[in-house]
């Protein structure tokens, strides 16, 4: 459900609507303006908030500039009323704890540009949340509200506050003025209790917050109700190409062999096709002599623009999203990276670099690891790519799952059964622990006179979580080993939503955010490195979670 309302103020236009992925950079800029003393959200965190529950995120735009943002998610009553802090409840800022069976709407972000006055943006965003709660028949709305005057009041010798509860009582009685708490009270929210240590970085509140609640007047419940999630259908067809490494006489022969499988997958109306890692090394087979690693990389890099253009054209021509394996490329700074080019059927081209080069890649090609992992938005929802060895590092796939990925594609290149099984077992583990689909694609055969492609072993497959809606062995489909073939299967993304909310086990929801989390060193997303954001809730103009 996407809401949209607009009002004119002279030549200005104010719009309140659901947040979209295209708003991410505008939201990030707003956060930087509002929270000047705290690390801003990364783009990945905002992307996760929107992908994990798009209906719960709203933006306010004035003259097409983002001037307000709020994020919320559904959670069950025992979770929202238990002791918690902001990191724990928000899934470390990604909104990844959203539970579609939860009967309360929990707000974990609300901010309004302090320069925008007189148009009641905070109130409008609150109304969007209230309408969402009513439309979904939720018990109410909860958030941890700031008390930004408490630290100052605590220092006063007279007329101050002895404790957070004393401060709250005096605000309610009108003895102390707190604009944030007064705003929340005026909007129908009632204080439940103090949350100590809710946000250590919020010095003005001395790390405290007030658990505020609004109860839906259209819902009467004496006991918490767990909503049931219907088993819906959100079908996606995926194809994995197990490609024969072969000597070719020209670039045209290579691309014709690849196009054949794209054409077949398109005839079967597949939404995605994935090719193996390093499948473009076949382009070295028609060189007059075996090239040294340095010469080989330089030669392959010459093909990069042509490959991107051809795969992008194929994606549009055949109406299919293509994960074009991976291709070693020399970068502008001279480093060599192993890159997966993802060409979508809308004509856009995306890149995911391999983060962890194998010892062989470092030795033969001097390949360096990339430094960014993020989901790619497609017409079938957000996806992730993990090139071969990267699938053996669970932190990467967990980052993609937090950002909303439901399918992770794993192009791989392994020379032996042992190497293949390392990738296969880890890919299956990623599917189970992140409750997502994992699609593997590998090379078979051999390629003489091309370094690092002497022999290949693969059994490409489409893997699922292990629970009742899925195949009994967690394998939706798999190829015969070591033969060139195309393997196609329908997968139901709605089964993932059901499993995450009502499955036998709920790996994503049951994480112990109070004990552990993954912290990323972000670079380039907002002008430099930052530590993970522990965001305050509330704003300079409105307040609220």
Annotated catalytic residues are 277, 354, 388
Neighbours of 405 (CB within 10 A): 25
Coil/strand/helix, residue 444: strand
d(CA 63, CA 82): 41
d(CA 81, CA 213): 10
Coil/strand/helix, residue 23: helix
443, containing H or E segment: strand 437-445
d(CA 382, CA 437): 12
Coil/strand/helix, residue 28: helix
| Distances, alpha carbon 74 to alpha carbons 126, 135, 227, 433, 511, in Å | 15, 13, 11, 21, 17
Helix crossing, 164-172 with 179-186: angle to 10°?
60
Sort strands 381-385 and 407-412 into parallel, antiparallel or unpaired. Answer: parallel
Longest dimension (CA), the chain: 89
Coil/strand/helix, residue 424: helix
Tokens representing residue 270 in the block = 């597949």
88, containing H or E segment: helix 86-90
- The sign of the dihedral angle between the CA atoms of 350, 356, 362, 364 is negative
The answer to whether the beta carbons of residues 538 and 112 sit under 8 Å apart is no
Q: What's phi and psi for 224, nearest 5 deg?
A: -60, 140
| Distances, alpha carbon 315 to alpha carbons 21, 256, 376, in Å | 22, 14, 15
Tokens representing residue 128 in the block = 């969007």
d(CA 250, CA 89): 56
């Amino acid at each position: 459900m996407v809401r949209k309302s607009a009002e004119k103020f002279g030549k200005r236009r104010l719009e309140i609507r659901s947040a979209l992925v295209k708003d991410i950079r505008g939201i990030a800029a707003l956060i930087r303006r509002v929270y000047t003393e705290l690390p801003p959200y990364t783009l990945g965190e905002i992307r996760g908030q929107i992908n994990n529950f798009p209906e719960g995120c709203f933006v306010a735009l004035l003259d097409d500039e983002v001037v307000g943002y709020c994020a919320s998610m559904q959670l069950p009553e025992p979770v929202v009323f238990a002791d918690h802090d902001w990191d724990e409840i928000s899934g470390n800022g990604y909104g990844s704890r959203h539970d579609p069976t939860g009967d309360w709407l929990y707000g974990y972000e609300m901010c309004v540009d302090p320069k925008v006055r007189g148009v009641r943006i905070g109130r409008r965003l609150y109304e969007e949340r209230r309408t969402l709660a009513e439309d979904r028949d939720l018990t109410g709305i909860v958030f941890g509200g700031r008390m930004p005057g408490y630290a100052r009041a605590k220092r006063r010798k007279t007329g101050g506050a002895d404790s957070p509860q004393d401060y709250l009582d005096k605000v309610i009685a009108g003895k102390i003025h707190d604009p944030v708490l007064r705003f929340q009270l005026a909007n129908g929210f009632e204080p439940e209790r103090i949350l100590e240590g809710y946000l250590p970085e919020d010095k003005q509140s001395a790390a405290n917050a007030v658990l505020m609640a609004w109860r839906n007047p259209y819902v009467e419940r004496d006991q918490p109700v767990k909503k049931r999630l219907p088993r819906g259908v959100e079908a996606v067809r995926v194809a994995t190409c197990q490609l024969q490494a072969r000597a070719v006489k020209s670039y045209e022969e290579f691309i014709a062999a690849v196009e054949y499988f794209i054409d077949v997958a398109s005839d079967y109306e597949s939404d995605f096709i994935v090719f193996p890692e390093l499948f473009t090394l076949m382009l070295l087979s028609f060189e007059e002599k075996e090239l040294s690693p340095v010469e080989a990389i330089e030669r392959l890099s010459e093909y990069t623009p042509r490959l991107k253009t051809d795969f992008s054209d194929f994606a549009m021509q055949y109406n299919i999203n293509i994960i074009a394996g991976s291709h070693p490329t020399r970068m502008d700074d001279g480093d060599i990276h192993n890159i997966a080019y993802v060409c979508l059927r809308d004509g856009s081209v995306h890149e995911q670099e391999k983060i962890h080069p194998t010892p062989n890649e470092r030795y033969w090609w001097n390949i360096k690891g990339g430094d960014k992992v993020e989901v790619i938005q497609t017409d079938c929802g957000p996806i992730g790519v993990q090139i071969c060895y990267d699938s053996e590092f669970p932190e990467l796939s967990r980052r993609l799952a937090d950002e909303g990925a439901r399918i992770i594609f794993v192009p791989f290149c392994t020379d032996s059964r042992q190497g293949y099984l390392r990738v296969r077992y880890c890919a299956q583990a990623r599917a189970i622990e992140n409750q997502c689909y994992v699609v593997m694609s590998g090379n078979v055969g051999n390629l003489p006179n091309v370094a690092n492609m002497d022999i290949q072993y693969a059994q490409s497959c489409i893997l699922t979580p292990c629970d009742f809606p899925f195949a009994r062995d967690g394998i939706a489909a798999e190829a015969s080993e070591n033969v060139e073939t195309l393997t196609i299967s329908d997968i139901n993304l709605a089964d993932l939503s059901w499993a995450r909310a009502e499955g036998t086990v709920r790996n994503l929801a049951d994480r112990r955010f109070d004990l552990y989390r993954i912290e990323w060193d972000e670079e380039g997303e907002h002008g430099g490195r930052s530590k993970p954001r522990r965001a305050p809730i509330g704003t300079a103009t409105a307040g609220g979670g």
